[in-house]
Amino acid sequence: MSPSLKLISHKLCPYVQRAVIALTEKGVAFERIDIDLADKPDWFLKISPLGKVPVLVVPAPRGEVAVFESNVICEYIEDAQPGARLHPDDALQRAQHRAWMEFGSAILGDLWGLETTQDAAVFGAKREALTAKFARVEDALGEGPYFDGVRFSLVDAVFAPVFRYFDVFDGYADLGIFASTPKVRAWRDQLAQRPSVRTAVGADYPTLLRAFLVRHDAYLLKQAA
C-alpha cells in the first residue's frame, strides 16, 4: 500500500527538511515528490498558492487537500499524526517554541543573503547578523542536548536544516559565527547525528548546494584559503 501523504519538495529547500524531519520523527510514511522550482509544473502551481515548497497533500473525504507553509505543515503533522509529541504540553511553552521556530526562519533569511550575495559588504553584514542571532539562541539554550532538553521538538526540526548549510560552508572558510556559542555548537553536533536529520536530504545535497553557490557566483566561494 502506497503512503497516503505526499510531500511536494525541492532537494535543497530547508523548509522542506522541517516537514521531512517531523514526519520521520512521527514514524509516518509519506511519498516525497521533488520538483524543479525553476520550471514549476502546472499541477503544482494549482495547489500551491504561493508557488513555494513544501506542500503536504493530505487525503480528505471530498478529495485531496493541499497544506502549504512549512510551519503550518509541521503543526498539522503534530496535531493529526500519531507518534512522539514534538511540542510541549504546556500552552506557554508551546508558544515559546513557536516563537523560536519563527526565529529560525529569520535566520534562514540572513543565510539566503549570505549564500547568494556577490558583495563583500553585504556578506559581512549578513555574517554579523547571523552571529548576533546565534548569540540570542545561545542565551535561550539549556543543558541540552536538544532545544527542550532531552526531548526532540519542532524547534530542533527547524534548526537542523540551518546548521546543515554550515557543513558545506565550513569547507570554504571558518566564518566564526559559532565561535562564542558553545551551547549552539553542541546542539549542532547533536542534531547532525539524529537519524531523521541525516536522512532529510539525499547524499547529493552537498554537491547540489555547491553548484547553487557557483551559479550565484557567491562571495562565500572567495573565502577559501
CA distances from residue 144 to 74, 173, 195 in whole angstroms, order as listed? 22, 27, 18
Query: For residue 192, what is its C-alpha cell?
Result: 547532525
Q: Could you give the CA distance from residue 224 to residue 152 in angstroms, rounded to a whole number?
A: 35
Q: Is 74 a catalytic residue?
A: no
Q: Which of 106, 151, 155, 113 is CA-nearest to residue 132?
A: 106
Q: Pick the catalytic residue: 5, 8, 13, 114?
A: 13
Q: Could you give the CA distance from residue 19 to residue 22 in angstroms, rounded to a whole number?
A: 5
For residue 162, the one-letter residue type is: V
CA atoms within 13 A on the CB side of 76: 18
Q: Are residues 147 and 155 in contact, defined by beta-carbon separation less than 8 angstroms?
A: yes
Q: Give catalytic residues, as residue numbers.
A: 13
